[in-house]
Structure 1
Amino acid sequence: MRLLIATDAWHPQVNGVVRSLEQMVRAGEAQGVEPIFLTPQDFRSVPMPGYTEIRLSFVTRAGLIRAFDGHAPTHVHIATEGPIGYAARRACLARGRPFTTSYHTRFPEYLAARAPVPKRWSYAWLRRFHAAASGTMVSTASLKRELTARGFANLMTWTRGVDTELFRPQVSDALAGIPGPIFLFVGRVAVEKNISAFLGLDLPGTKVVVGDGPDRARLQGLHPEARFLGIKTGEELARIYAAADVFVFPSLTDTFGIVLLEALACGLPVAAFPVTGPLDVLSGTGAGVLDDDLRAAALAALEIPRERCREEALRHSWAESARQFYRNIEMAHAVGLMRAAQRNRQPTRIVELG
């Protein structure tokens, strides 16, 4: 498989989309998959106002068609609904090429948090965008049910994993000198992450925020008692997880939350609202507490044995995630080719389209 992945989310962004795609590349190369990326690094782009790590690319359908011709992919996956993803979608439709998409981000909720745009308008646009795909991948069963109820079709499950060698229980002094218990948040510091719900809790000890984003300066000014450490990755991030006492995940809009698995892999119990993502990862596991009262959840999570968290994390591998991802692409690609053949009144023999 020579797979072209079109994504508007790429370095220097640090988020679940980028991490998931990086893991798919590592796993795919071992399976003989040749990945080809089209990212903002391949086009002229400008930073998004107020969110400079996100680049908005200037890309046309003609430019994408030239890229297709130059790379000659056998399969196409569109990871995001931004300028690159939209241009790739148009190029595939112009050439009659089947493609898959993935639904990573609740843009309707994100947009509604920043501007007076009704969510039904945004969902209508997203439904149209993904309807052209042979298959749309979603991360959890609850998200699949939700999108089905909103009229999305051809949904396929693609779960996420965690690197349990990097993220592991260990004795760590990464947060030495910070009064405990330590309640930790890791992620993009932006309004849609609902971090203010965490920082406003009356909790003992100290709240620690790892990450950066457009809302950091405001939140840091409002909550000088909290510790803001900026972006941390790799071993440094793993040591911070291992040194904390509870991971607090206040988001109401994430579709999964890879940080949940990273925390669990380090033996760190989780407190979260009972919403999509935490419900799918934590419900019934005993590795976290879900409650509409986030303070109560955070305090109760202090009692969870760390070894229970690690046990749950070991059930989620990137290898299984990659198997789902590439199996979905193969299945959807075959279905797309058969549909194209039927539309063109050609024999249903599966062939590659140029």
Structure 2
Amino acid sequence: MTRKLLAFVFYANLAVILVIASYRLYLLISAPNASALLVKQIEEIERVAEAKPGAPLALAVIGEGNNSIGVLEQQIIPSINASGAQFLVSAGNIVSGGGEDKYRALLGTLSHLKVPYLLTFGENEHEEFGSTRFYQRFGPHFYSLSLPQVRLVFLDATGRTPTDWQERWLRDILKPDDDTPVIIFLGHPLVPPAQETLFPPDEGAWSEPESRDRLLALITKLGVDMVVSAGAATFSDQMIGGVRHILTGGAGGLVVNDEASFYHYLDLAVDKGDLSAEMRRINTAPTGLARRIEGIWFFIYSLFYVGWLNFLLIVSILVVTCLYLYNRLFRARRYYPDYALRTSKLPHRPLRIVMFTNTYLPFVGGVAISVERLKTGLERLGHEVLVVAPTYDGQTDEQGVLRVPTLGGRSNLIRVANPIHSGTWRTVRDFEPDVIHIHHPFWLGSLGLRMARSLKVPAVFTYHTRLEQFAHAIPLPGALFRNVIAHWLVRRFANQCDEIIVPTPVTRDYIRLIGVDRPVHVQPTGVETARFQASDKGQLEELRDRFNPDGRKILVTVSRLSREKNLDFMIAAMRKLKDRGAPAFRLLIIGEGDERRHLTDIIRDKDLTSEVRIVGAVSGDEIPNYLGIADIFVFASVSETQGMVILEAMAAGLPVVAVNATGVDAFVQNRNTGILTDEDTEQWADAVHGLLVNARDRRELARAGLEKAQKHSVEAFSAAVAEIYLAASASHEIERVSTHSARS
């Protein structure tokens, strides 16, 4: 239960992260068309000021308005609306960041104002690529507004606009002999606050001593009356060089509600050339102690929260990270095989087995053939089998096969069966399986795992396919799928099953290496040796007349025509054989797939139309006859978990030349049961050439290969898998009893 709960929490938070990330992407894509909003605000302010040129002018000023807990919206703005202020000025940092969601939130906050507003471009407005958003939504980063009562100047203190340009601009617009009061707004203080703050004030374009002193001297020379800045969660009011410097940072940010840091805003008034400023403190709690506690909480909250979505995102990321680390550091892992004897107390009896596979006959492929042989072998042993597989064009009705309707395309390689088809659940439930055997770690395989859990029966998983070799067929970045996703998918799925079957020891090592800690059994798919030796002589003659009328040596391969089968490599090696004057040969490629046109073009371009022939799809019953007319079986795939067609060729008495890779080395011992080479066309062509000219080597390799193949009969394979089913049942039974005892 604990593990399920942790998994639920993990995936719930992962879902939160994905939803928020998707929402952010949506905000980015669907940005509103609002632009130059400050133009309208300035026009309204000018209309108010010019209506009564000689009347006093009142404005409210806030700084550090990036308030994450609603104080700005719920208390400061209503107070300003009721104060008689004719407009609002932000001295900077009214947003918590320059992201699209922050600017949208700001528009929502400003909509609560009953008066127009002006904004100073500060560091928070600038970060997260916010400069462009500010410019598009509101206006330029530095600007000025001349009213009959006062001149307001807004500087860009972020460093985005060069300071020498802005200083030159100040000299142009301000005259020392002008009697109109001048107030400059900028996003960081030019002088340190009068009292010490928990965090140092923001730094910006004029923070360096030389730059600061130059601007201070300039504003004194130009007759500036007041500088109002943000950049620290405090209030400070000082006279420097005859200029009043006010630092206001009480509209949000990291306010801690003590004597140095508290919520507030400024009331500024201009009356007949005189400037007055009064700080208005906002008491958010009724008592000093309550304000202190509230301040601490708001401070901690503000450290994490920069909007409720971001807060949720941060918490979810922390939860996911903690659960991941807990899983990596504290969950027990079994790095060695499980030697516990899982023997059933029940006598051996016929089993009812359901197999889930994403590919099946009439599609010809390794997994489909393996499932069909296992089904046949188990039925001969008296077990009852139901195969759940996709529908195919040209399929025949077969006892014990449930065809699931497919969705979308009609590709034979990838058949997307309907995972919510009601008939599937009903048929499997009515079948009352003892065990569910899954042959793919996704789609119908995932359905099979869910049904095993629902029906409380063991799940056995056979790892057939090296998923990372199919990166070219997946709509994801190839390296990401090949190096991360494929292995994660196999590990996650396998660890949810009761028993794992792999075809070769190398595959077992891979399964362990990626972190699978369930019991693993090495069990190659069996081959019907007798069937591959019983060829029809009449059909053999017919095939020779059709494919080898000129008496060449016949090479044959059986392979799906897809990229991971490495057929381009094989065709390139055929060109080398022809160039070096090897004995007359012809390669028959048996199989069908999406790469047929591509391979046909290569054969034509390399002038191999006489030496290489794509036969196409051939029924399983006909394969032994094609092998019977051949002299050598060739193979180049490096994506196999088990080279089943190699075992079939050995059963047919053919010598084998293959690229040394997983799934091949389990059956082909170099220079004993076949020849293995590196993935090098020269080496591979040398090996084929050697067998073409040496009949004795062909006979010896064929004899040893046949002996090897005879050890892997379908009967022995099916009986071994049935024992694994019983072991899974025993393990499942032990786990169920121990769980019941623990709950009791």
Do Structure 1 and Structure 2 share a fold, with TM-score over 0.5? yes
1:63 to 1:91, Cα distance in 2 relative to 1, 3 A = farther
Give 1:197's match in structure 2, choosing from 569, 576, 579: 569
Question: 1:98-142 CA deviation, whole Å, 9 max, x = no partner?
Answer: 211110111122125665232221110111011111111100111
Confirm whether residue 240 of structure 1 aligns to residue 626 of structure 2.
yes
Question: What is the identity, as a one-letter code, of the residue corresponding to 1:110?
Answer: F
Q: Which runs of 5+ in 1 are unaligned?
A: 349-354
**C-alpha deviation, 1:222, in angstroms:** 1.1
Distance in 2 (alpha carbons) for counterparts of 1:126 and 1:232: 31
The answer for the alignment partner of 1:263 in structure 2 is 649
Paired with 1:260 and 1:324, the residues of 2 have a C-alpha distance of 21
Match of 1:97 among 446, 453, 457: 457
Matched, 1:213 2:587: no
Q: 1:164 aligns with which of 512, 529, 536?
A: 529
Once the two structures are overlaid, the 10-residue window that deviates more, 56-65 or 318-327, is: 56-65
Which whole-Å CA distance do the structure 1 matches of 2:691 and 2:717 have between them?
28
Counterpart of 1:28, as a letter, is L
- Looking at structure 2, the residues matched to 47 and 168 of structure 1 have their Cα atoms a distance apart, in angstroms, of 41
Q: How big is the shift at 1:287?
A: 2.2
Which residue of structure 1 aligns with residue 501 of structure 2?
Answer: 137
* 1:319–1:47 Cα change, 3 Å: farther
Give the equivalent residue in structure 1 for 2:554: 182
**Structure 2: which amino acid aligns with 1:23?**
R
- TM-score norm. by structure 1 comes to 0.90
| Alpha-carbon distance in structure 2 between the residues aligned to 1:337 and 1:70 | 21
Q: Indicate conservation of the 8 Å contact 1:286/1:304, yes or no.
A: no
Q: Which residue of 1 aligns with 2:698?
A: 304
| More divergent stretch after superposition (126-135 vs 286-295) | 286-295
- The within-5 A match list for 1:296-335 is 296-302=686-692, 303-305=697-699, 306-335=702-731
Displacement after TM superposition at 1:325 (Å): 1.1
- Secondary structure of the residue aligned to 1:280 is coil
Deviation (angstroms), 1:227: 0.4
Give the 5 Å matches for 1:1-354: 1-41=351-391, 42-46=403-407, 48=409, 51-52=411-412, 54-60=414-420, 65-112=425-472, 116-117=477-478, 118=480, 119=482, 120-153=484-517, 154-168=519-533, 172-173=540-541, 174-175=543-544, 176-177=548-549, 180-201=552-573, 202-203=576-577, 204=582, 205-224=585-604, 225=609, 226-283=612-669, 286-292=672-678, 293-302=683-692, 303-305=697-699, 306-345=702-741
Q: Does the 8 A contact of 1:257 with 1:278 survive in 2?
A: yes
C-alpha spacing 1:61/1:233, structure 2 compared with 1 (3 Å): closer
Paired-residue identity, %: 24
Partner of 1:351: none
Superposed displacement of residue 97, structure 1: 3.0
Seen in structure 2, the aligned counterparts of structure 1 residues 178 and 45 have a Cα distance that, compared at 3 Å, is farther
Secondary structure of residue in 2 paired with 1:23: helix
Deviation at 1:244, TM superposition (A): 1.5
1:298 counterpart letter in structure 2 = V
Q: Relative to structure 2, which stretch is displaced further, 28-37 or 173-182?
A: 173-182
Shift of the 190–149 alpha-carbon distance from structure 1 to 2, 3 Å rule, reads: same
- How far apart are residue 213 of structure 1 and its match? 0.4
Counterpart residue identity of residue 353, structure 2: L
Mean Cα deviation higher: 266-275 or 54-63: 54-63
Q: Distance in 2 between matches of 1:97 and 1:43?
A: 22
Q: Is the 8 A contact 2:470 2:564 kept in 1?
A: yes
1:138 and 1:47, CA in 2 relative to 1: closer, same or farther beyond 3 A? farther
Residues 34/89 of structure 1: CA separation in 2 closer, same or farther (3 Å cut): same
**Separation in structure 2 between the aligned mates of residue 18 and residue 143 of structure 1, nearest angstrom:** 19
Larger Rg: 2
Contact conserved, 1:61 with 1:87, CA < 8 A, in 2?
A: no
Aligned partner letter, 2:715: A
TM-score by length of 2: 0.44
**Change over 3 Å in CA distance of 1:340–1:94 after alignment to 2:** same
Whether the aligned pair in 2 keeps the contact of 1:247 and 1:271 (CA below 8 Å) is yes
Q: Any runs of at least 4 consecutive aligned residues in structure 1 with deviations exceeding 4 A, and if so which?
A: 61-65, 112-115
Look up the equivalent residue of 2:471 and give its one-letter code: L
Q: CA deviation at 1:53?
A: 5.1
> Does structure 1 retain, via aligned residues, the 8 Å contact 2:654–2:705?
yes
Show structure 2 runs of 5+ residues with no match: 1-350, 392-402
Deviation for aligned residue 1:29: 1.8
Is the alpha carbon distance of 1:297 and 1:285 closer, same or farther for their aligned partners in structure 2, counting shifts above 3 Å? closer
Asked whether the 8 Å contact 1:270–1:298 carries over to 2, the reply is no
Q: CA deviation at 1:183?
A: 2.0
Contact 2:360 2:371 in 1 (8 A): no
Could you give the per-residue CA deviations for residues 161-218 of structure 1, whole angstroms, max 9, x where no partner exists?
Answer: 2212221176633233255222211111110111111111012322221110000111
Report deviation, 1:229: 0.7
**Is the contact made by 1:137 and 1:156 (CA closer than 8 Å) also made in structure 2?**
yes
Deviation (angstroms), 1:271: 0.6
- Deviation at residue 16 of structure 1 after TM alignment: 1.7
1:311 Cα deviation (Å)? Answer: 2.8
- Tell me by how many angstroms 1:220 deviates: 0.9
Secondary structure of the residue aligned to 1:8 is: coil
Cα separation, 2, equivalents of 1:290 and 1:47:
41
Show the counterpart of 2:169: none
> Is residue 285–residue 312 contact of structure 1 (8 Å, CA) maintained in 2?
no
Q: Distance in 2 between matches of 1:220 and 1:23?
A: 32
Asked whether the 8 Å contact 1:251–1:273 carries over to 2, the reply is yes
Aligned to 1:352: none
Specify the SS of the correspondent of 1:166.
helix
